[in-house]
Amino acid sequence: MQLEKYQVDEHNQSLLAEHKRRFEFTAHGVANIEDVLQKLTAFQIAIPSWALGTGGTRFGRFAGAGEPRSLEEKIEDIGLLHALNKSSGAISLHIPWDIPKNADAIKILAAQHGIRFDAVNSNTFQDQKDQKHSYKFGSLQHVNKAVRDQAIEHNLEVIHYGKALGSDSITVWLSDGSCFPGQLNFRKAFQHTLDGLQQVYAALPDNWKMFVEYKAFEPNFYSMTVGDWGQSLLYASKLGPKAYTLVDLGHHLPNANIEQIVSLLLMEKKLGGFHFNDSKYGDDDLTVGSIRPYQLFLIFNELIEGMDARGMNHATDLGWMIDASHNVKDPLEDLLQSVEAIKLAYAQALLVNRRELEQAQQENDVTRAQEILQAAYRTDVRPLVAEARLRAGAALQPLTLFRKLKVRTELVKERGAKTVATGL
Amino acid sequence: MQLEKYQVDEHNQSLLAEHKRRFEFTAHGVANIEDVLQKLTAFQIAIPSWALGTGGTRFGRFAGAGEPRSLEEKIEDIGLLHALNKSSGAISLHIPWDIPKNADAIKILAAQHGIRFDAVNSNTFQDQKDQKHSYKFGSLQHVNKAVRDQAIEHNLEVIHYGKALGSDSITVWLSDGSCFPGQLNFRKAFQHTLDGLQQVYAALPDNWKMFVEYKAFEPNFYSMTVGDWGQSLLYASKLGPKAYTLVDLGHHLPNANIEQIVSLLLMEKKLGGFHFNDSKYGDDDLTVGSIRPYQLFLIFNELIEGMDARGMNHATDLGWMIDASHNVKDPLEDLLQSVEAIKLAYAQALLVNRRELEQAQQENDVTRAQEILQAAYRTDVRPLVAEARLRAGAALQPLTLFRKLKVRTELVKERGAKTVATGL
Amino acid sequence: MQLEKYQVDEHNQSLLAEHKRRFEFTAHGVANIEDVLQKLTAFQIAIPSWALGTGGTRFGRFAGAGEPRSLEEKIEDIGLLHALNKSSGAISLHIPWDIPKNADAIKILAAQHGIRFDAVNSNTFQDQKDQKHSYKFGSLQHVNKAVRDQAIEHNLEVIHYGKALGSDSITVWLSDGSCFPGQLNFRKAFQHTLDGLQQVYAALPDNWKMFVEYKAFEPNFYSMTVGDWGQSLLYASKLGPKAYTLVDLGHHLPNANIEQIVSLLLMEKKLGGFHFNDSKYGDDDLTVGSIRPYQLFLIFNELIEGMDARGMNHATDLGWMIDASHNVKDPLEDLLQSVEAIKLAYAQALLVNRRELEQAQQENDVTRAQEILQAAYRTDVRPLVAEARLRAGAALQPLTLFRKLKVRTELVKERGAKTVATGL
Amino acid sequence: MQLEKYQVDEHNQSLLAEHKRRFEFTAHGVANIEDVLQKLTAFQIAIPSWALGTGGTRFGRFAGAGEPRSLEEKIEDIGLLHALNKSSGAISLHIPWDIPKNADAIKILAAQHGIRFDAVNSNTFQDQKDQKHSYKFGSLQHVNKAVRDQAIEHNLEVIHYGKALGSDSITVWLSDGSCFPGQLNFRKAFQHTLDGLQQVYAALPDNWKMFVEYKAFEPNFYSMTVGDWGQSLLYASKLGPKAYTLVDLGHHLPNANIEQIVSLLLMEKKLGGFHFNDSKYGDDDLTVGSIRPYQLFLIFNELIEGMDARGMNHATDLGWMIDASHNVKDPLEDLLQSVEAIKLAYAQALLVNRRELEQAQQENDVTRAQEILQAAYRTDVRPLVAEARLRAGAALQPLTLFRKLKVRTELVKERGAKTVATGL
């Protein structure tokens, strides 16, 4: 299924008058409105190839219908999202779930949808059929060199696929760790992992980045070998200038101040990218902005502050990706909501009066600093994000149009009700 | 495979002299040593039928080998455990994973192994093949009466199976809840759930108990409809005298004081049973005693205090069950370690000088109260637990004997390497 | 210092045109706008007498200036707040920090400021000079009857003061608990506490309520004798119909779902009142809405849903109080921000389309349920809250006016820079 | 008050026979028993000068009696501890609470008690009387250079006092941070702090170390400028080879794996020292080993593994200090319990069969690895620690002797009941 331009136009036309009223009200008083709109338009969030099917937990999975059965259909799904919001113009590929059999054909297909290839992802947290060695006790950390070599080899293969598609970064998330005290020698696990990452790093094309993702717990429940930003930064620093830390919002201990981590990683020139999602307890992988929207805003506040301080390009100098699991919502609807939440937080953060905030900080005027932040946060920026979409040729209300066009029903017709997308 | 008495005897004989030395040292000064040994012997922990195979996480599962392929083989596994430790003389059955096709034959088989049937467990957290309605949005809480009725019907069926096997309790764990704000009306979800439980309660045989298990999060990540002991107690109180709260050690928010919960539930005459496991982050389902052995001791300290205050029988008046997931250990070895950890904690708690503790509490002598507790905890009670085993005809060192007899190798020979037990 | 009507009027006049523009935009499409405004106006939040001075931590306290030196000056402070926002028309008194020497005079003074007396608060967590028995090891839970009697006596005295002032409720927060395993017999501590509360309950005037506040930890760091909502509900249920649970937002374990607790307590007819604040780690006592504004909205969403379901009056049927500590902000500014945050959350929750939400819940339309909630939350309701203030004769922008009038400077002139208000 | 040798001897004599029986049983089978005893004897834990009085919380403080009124009396207290256990032969001094007026006299006094001076501690988390600038908004992080300079100056003064007493390290714990989003520019706060630390570092004598302590929260409740080990390591790495991270057991987010942090810091040659205590919720500062004794053992297990791997001297190459708050126990009794708990954990960790553990790790034999660790942990090592004390001339049961000699009663006689030691 593909969206036609006239469908978007009709939708927009019917909402235009009310949109204009709301946009004009909101834009009033935003001095740099054109700059804000331009930044909102430029900001694209990559969709992970594994998030287009229904997710599950260890207790089970309640399948949806009309899920994509192939990489081609996944690109079709993202194409639909992108046609609706012009903000999802990238895909983050997972190997081996989505090995492109014909890279050139896939590139052409993606290009037709206006989609580029963001970071490719390796998987050494599961055993694949016919795999020689098991990752039951880890991959790069493993005590057995043969297992480590296999994991390194897999990462090289992922780079290979990424190169063929025009990607320029690899995200390495290792589930390596231990479930019980005594299981692991932490130091040796670190050193094996570092050694493996170094070998992968050595194979990086010149213009590539490596993102070292950390996670506090799960699927290992005692220790994780890349467990927090401190560890990730250690690896990235030892690896070299092409290695960066990747922050996944759900990968922290309770109450962690993620926005401070973001700020310090930017200071160290070692923040590489983001996995957006939301959570209440652990890596719950819920819709972005569904639980802690203010925290999301605070993170964007630090991102803008830190990136601007270094003259970075918001849209292109970090990797922006969603990483979520859609257990009870239609995956496409969930992704539309997530992208919207990210853009709203970004828009709010763009409205922060930085000059005044800095002055309040200089004067230790804590009350005023909060007022400044919350003045931006409390602003209803939905019309700004909608206007940016309108100018980019997308729908004023992507979710409304998605439902009105009965996209999922169409997909079920095309693909069947009992399809299962690869993924968790 | 079945253990022969001579195998245990030979093993014990080889270790007897050293055991005697250690036991005599430890028993020295334990005034009520015979009472302690008798209680240790009487104390049996039920093994859940789903914990005999390798567990997994949402990220995958690394299978073991020689897993039981049927209920009969599961009983065989527990029979092996019980022959080794004479402390695992019960099975907690999961329906529909382990529906007994021929209840009488199963009862005879279990009796041959000295195993009785503890609480039966219902499952409305997964959809079974050919199930009419899905539990994607809950079971007893569901907005649709047809789904609720199906879930009630399933629980009645579970009671039916339990009766046939001689069980006298049902554990109802509901994964019902919500993943997002707004998804659920909490009050209506509670009331639907209460209504459903009442219908199940009405079908309980006179001598049965119903255990209402609570859990803070997972697989729902925003709210759980039986989320904490307060909610479970509300249900149990409204249901009636046969309804009790069941405590699973891993089902709490971070830092919860579980021992206090245990004490208060006993005070309210509403503690029904236990699911033992250990955890660091959430419902990690690790080996009992592998992470927080002192907390386990403190829980047993409250159990003894509270049960004795009401003249309860330690061994029979509460349901003692393990509920764990064996992701990186051999399930049978894990269960041997778990049972051992439970017995050690129980033995330590039996050694607490309660008269002196009460006196210290009366005097607000906090230092002394801690000394009294830790004097018991720091005692090496392994010889006591071993002696109780010896007298019961079990092995002095169950795990050592398990390995020496190459039990798993035998099971793989019998069952094959690629078996998969039902369960998570 | 007292605010003059003309000062408020001048301020409002200067902002009126812009306010009108914003209000009209926002009100557009709010069908029940008058009802919303009326409810906002009626909603008053009590200010605690101990929150008018600078707060501290165990590591120290950095005093402010111009703090109130007497109960009269505290009432003056709240009078200033109320003149600015017409939303702080009540005081919650702490005994013995604020014992009214002449109740009648105090009542007259408060009435002049339009302030009524909300719940009175007892204090058995500190030793007062010349107190006979120490609360080092608890008050109502204490092993020594003489200590318990002293604590009961104190609570009766608090009721006595409350009656004289026209209060009709008492909040009992007990810091009782233990710092170490073994220190306490949990059951006996509960029973002593219940017995003491029963004696206080027996002395309640007919029209009074007793609020039993719970707290997870601090200042006791192992157990708390009224530690969670489950325990508080147990006490309240055993006490009788005049006893209720009081929820303080900062008194929970990490990640607790407070909004669900609120819903269930309303269902049980046992929710009595609220202590508003915000926090990231524990009982941080930060400005309301400064850390988790979305959670605050979700709580109000449940409050409205649950109160409406029982036909309760939002403004008067629960006790609404702030309980915060102002370590780095001017206390009056902090309170202005807190009251504003509460009203904004209340306004957003009033905008939730409940009919549609219920329908979405009935259809398990999780995506839509989130859209409905967030549509209300993302609305910029500041103009609504400002309009309600305008109509009530308060300032359009209370904080702006507070600063413009240099209220704190005036207070320092009157009271001096080195004053210290009673409190923590 | 001073302990006489004959008092210790009499005490030991009365317990000797039973001790011998127990020691011989335990020593049996410990191959390297003499090495273990020697290490236990050499291991000394510094007592902080602020922990000899009763601690408090922000809600109040319940004073004890007979608290030391001067630095001299604090040294006398530690002298008593050391006479009892020969394991507390060091003091960690806090400036300005314990400024030595006559350094030479203090040195002589300490030497008479066999006490050396461990790390000195600076305090920029409180304002001292007559201090020019306030630390309300931080010290080294402060936006105002004058405040930063004052804080630097204070640290130089602390080094000055330390040099005079023969200390060779300084612990810098900064409470710097923020209570509200927006209050701080994280990056600038970091850079100011780094700059300040560099100036202090520059003034370090050649043989000195600087310990950079981190803490997750409290007294700031939104962000801490040295908030976790990752940040501390960043500072220490940028400062140079004399700068190290200091780990306080209570300064982490919930569920943090502290033992892994210890291992990695040792790997990086950046672990400098330890503040021992225990906790359930936050920085509860409870008696060491009172809540999570197994975690303490696991930490020592990593310490030994990591130090041995680098050929470090257990006793002297790291700074071992207690940092606790004694709210409900006699401070001296609490310290005796804490030192005992540390030594027991150290002894257990010394008993771990490292060769076998390494082999089990090499074979991914998780079950066996746990057995090896717990075999050591479950051993009752109290007789070993007692024997080490006996050989060093200390008491077999320090706490028993402390009580038998009525030490506190004596101190109250000497000092009075209403004394208050400086500290929190």
Q: What are phi and psi of D138, to 5 degrees?
A: 105, 175
| Residues in chain B within 8 Å Cβ distance of C178 | 366
A289 CA: distance to closest CA in chain C (Å): 10
- Model pLDDT for residues A200-209, shown as the tens digit of each residue: 999 999 999 9
If 0-12 CB within 10 Å is exposed, 13-18 middle and 19+ buried, where does residue B377 land? buried
| Residues in chain B within 8 Å Cβ distance of A290 | 180-181
Put simply, the answer to whether C290 touches A370 (Cβ < 8 Å) is yes
| Residues in chain B within 8 Å Cβ distance of D255 | 254, 280-281
| Residues in chain A within 8 Å Cβ distance of C378 | 344, 380, 382
Chain B residues in contact with chain A using a Cβ-Cβ cutoff of 8 Å: 55-60, 62, 125-127, 134-137, 175, 179-181, 183, 216-219, 221-222, 254, 279-282, 284, 286-287, 290-291, 325, 327-329, 424
**Helix ranges, A213-330 (H):** 229-239, 258-267, 293-309
What is the residue type of C377? Y
Find the CB nearest B329 among D25, D287, D367.
Answer: D367
Helices then strands, counting H and E runs in chain A, come out as 15, 13
- Model pLDDT for residues C313-359, shown as the tens digit of each residue: 999 999 999 999 999 999 999 999 999 999 999 999 999 999 999 99
pLDDT (mean) for A308-329: 97
Q: Are B328 and A179 in contact (CB under 8 A)?
A: yes
- Model pLDDT for residues C112-166, shown as the tens digit of each residue: 999 999 999 999 999 999 899 999 999 999 999 999 999 999 999 999 999 999 9
- pLDDT over 80 at C371, yes or no: yes
Put simply, the answer to whether B370 touches C181 (Cβ < 8 Å) is yes
Put simply, the answer to whether D399 touches B293 (Cβ < 8 Å) is no
- pLDDT over 80 at A420, yes or no: no
**Chain D interface, best mutation among B259, B374, B384, by max D CB count within 10 A:** B374
Q: Are C141 and C156 in contact (CB under 8 A)?
A: no
Give the number of other CB atoms < 10 A from CB of residue D237.
Answer: 15
Task: Give every residue of chain B whose pLDDT is below 50, as ranges.
Answer: none
Residue C310 DSSP one-character state: T
Put simply, the answer to whether A327 touches B58 (Cβ < 8 Å) is no
**pLDDT for res C178:** 98
- pLDDT over 80 at C261, yes or no: yes
**pLDDT for res D35:** 98
Strand partners, A121: A94, A171
Confidence of residue A418 (pLDDT cuts 50, 70, 90): confident
From CA D87, how far away is CA D80, in angstroms rounded?
11
From CA D243, how far away is CA D233, in angstroms rounded?
9
Structure tokens at A156: 């090289």
Nearest to A310 by CA among A367, A270, A281: A270
From CA D237, how far away is CA D403, in angstroms rounded?
47
From CA D128, how far away is CA D125, in angstroms rounded?
10
Q: How do C60-61 and C56-57 pair as beta strands?
A: antiparallel
Q: How do C90-92 and C47-48 pair as beta strands?
A: parallel
From CA B207, how far away is CA D50, in angstroms rounded?
60
Find the CB nearest B125 among A60, A284, A328.
Answer: A60
From CA C165, how far away is CA D273, in angstroms rounded?
57
* Distances in whole angstroms, Cα of residue B263 to Cα of each of B268, B298, B299, B304, D280: 9, 11, 9, 10, 19
Q: What are phi and psi of D263, to 5 degrees?
A: -65, -45
Find the CB nearest C254 among A254, A289, A380.
Answer: A254
From CA C185, how far away is CA B366, in angstroms rounded?
12
DSSP string, D336-350: HHHHHHHHHHHHHHH
Instruction: Supply angle C-alpha C167, C241, C213, rounded to 5.
Output: 60
| Residues in chain A within 8 Å Cβ distance of D179 | 366
Q: What are phi and psi of B172, to 5 degrees?
A: -105, 105
DSSP string, D98-166: T--SSHHHHHHHHHHTT-EE--EE---SSPPTT-SS--TT-STT-SSHHHHHHHHHHHHHHHHHHHHHT
Poorest-confidence range of A357-366, A413-422, D261-270? Answer: A413-422
B292 CA: distance to closest CA in chain D (Å): 7
D287 CA: distance to closest CA in chain C (Å): 9
**Helix ranges, C166-310 (H):** 186-202, 229-239, 258-267, 293-309
Residue C225 DSSP one-character state: T
Find the CB nearest D281 among B255, B294, B399.
Answer: B255
- Model pLDDT for residues D122-149, shown as the tens digit of each residue: 999 999 998 999 999 999 999 999 999 9
- Model pLDDT for residues D90-119, shown as the tens digit of each residue: 999 999 999 999 999 999 999 999 999 999
SS3 B205: coil
Cα A257 to chain centroid distance, Å, stands at 19
Please give the mean pLDDT across all residues of chain C.
97
D35 CA: distance to closest CA in chain B (Å): 22
SS3 B269: coil
Put simply, the answer to whether D281 touches C216 (Cβ < 8 Å) is yes
From CA B80, how far away is CA B113, in angstroms rounded?
8
If 0-12 CB within 10 Å is exposed, 13-18 middle and 19+ buried, where does residue B378 land? buried
**pLDDT for res B420:** 75
pLDDT (mean) for D22-32: 94
Residue C130 DSSP one-character state: T
| Residues in chain A within 8 Å Cβ distance of D191 | 267
- Find the residue in B nearest to C309 (Cα): B187
From CA C90, how far away is CA C38, in angstroms rounded?
18
Find the CB nearest C60 among D126, D181, D328.
Answer: D126
Find the CB nearest D294 among B292, B333, B374.
Answer: B292
Give the number of other CB atoms < 10 A from CB of residue C197.
Answer: 23
- pLDDT over 90 at A422, yes or no: no
* Distances in whole angstroms, Cα of residue A147 to Cα of each of A192, B60, C28: 11, 18, 65
- pLDDT over 80 at A421, yes or no: no
C135 CA: distance to closest CA in chain A (Å): 32
Nearest to C369 by CA among B142, A411, A334: A334
Q: Are A196 and A152 in contact (CB under 8 A)?
A: yes
**pLDDT for res D65:** 92
Confidence of residue C417 (pLDDT cuts 50, 70, 90): confident
Q: How do B120-121 and A90-92 pair as beta strands?
A: unpaired
Cβ neighbours of residue B316 under 8 Å, at least 6 residues apart? Answer: none
Structure tokens at A303: 């991102």
Put simply, the answer to whether D254 touches A259 (Cβ < 8 Å) is no
Put simply, the answer to whether D380 touches B380 (Cβ < 8 Å) is yes
C368 CA: distance to closest CA in chain B (Å): 9
Find the CB nearest A361 among D183, D306, D366.
Answer: D183
Long-range contacts of B130-136 (CB under 8 A, 24+ apart): B134/A62, B135/A62, B135/B175, B136/A62, B136/A328, B136/C364
Find the CB nearest A260 among D223, D257, D373.
Answer: D223
Nearest to C155 by CA among C239, C218, C221: C239
Quick check: ipTM above 0.85?
A: yes
Nearest to C190 by CA among C220, C224, C219: C224
Q: Are D209 and D172 in contact (CB under 8 A)?
A: no
From CA C42, how far away is CA B173, in angstroms rounded?
44
Find the CB nearest C333 among A290, A344, A367.
Answer: A367
Cβ neighbours of residue C380 under 8 Å, at least 6 residues apart? Answer: A378, A379, A380, C26
Strand partners, D244: D211
Cis amide linkage into residue D96, ω under 30° from 0: yes
- Model pLDDT for residues C229-259, shown as the tens digit of each residue: 999 999 999 999 999 999 999 999 999 999 9
Put simply, the answer to whether B185 touches C358 (Cβ < 8 Å) is yes
**Chain C interface, best mutation among D97, D131, D180, by max C CB count within 10 A:** D180
Nearest to A229 by CA among A213, A242, A210, A243: A213
**pLDDT for res C376:** 98
Cβ neighbours of residue C313 under 8 Å, at least 6 residues apart? Answer: C307
- Find the residue in B nearest to C136 (Cα): B364
Q: Are A212 and A246 in contact (CB under 8 A)?
A: yes
**pLDDT for res D422:** 73
| Residues in chain B within 8 Å Cβ distance of D379 | 380
Q: How do B116-117 and B90-92 pair as beta strands?
A: parallel
Confidence of residue D421 (pLDDT cuts 50, 70, 90): confident
Q: Is the pTM of this model over 0.90?
A: yes
Between A418 and C110, name the one with better pLDDT.
C110
A58 CA: distance to closest CA in chain B (Å): 4
| Residues in chain C within 8 Å Cβ distance of D56 | 58
B288 CA: distance to closest CA in chain D (Å): 12
pLDDT (mean) for D350-371: 98
* Distances in whole angstroms, Cα of residue B121 to Cα of each of B124, B158, B159: 10, 7, 9
**pLDDT for res D4:** 94
Put simply, the answer to whether D367 touches B25 (Cβ < 8 Å) is no
D355 CA: distance to closest CA in chain A (Å): 12
From CA A210, how far away is CA A236, in angstroms rounded?
9
From CA D265, how far away is CA D112, in angstroms rounded?
36
Q: Are D49 and D98 in contact (CB under 8 A)?
A: yes
Q: C21-32 in b/e burial notation, b at 16+ Cβ within 10 A? A: ebbebbeeebee
Cα A385 to chain centroid distance, Å, stands at 19
For chain A, which chains pass the contact test of at least 3 CB pairs under 8 Å? B, C, D
Put simply, the answer to whether C260 touches B223 (Cβ < 8 Å) is yes
Find the CB nearest C380 among A367, A371, A379.
Answer: A379
pLDDT (mean) for A51-66: 93
**pLDDT for res C422:** 72
**pLDDT for res B322:** 98
Put simply, the answer to whether B367 touches D293 (Cβ < 8 Å) is no
Q: Which residue has the tokens 């007396």?
A: C117
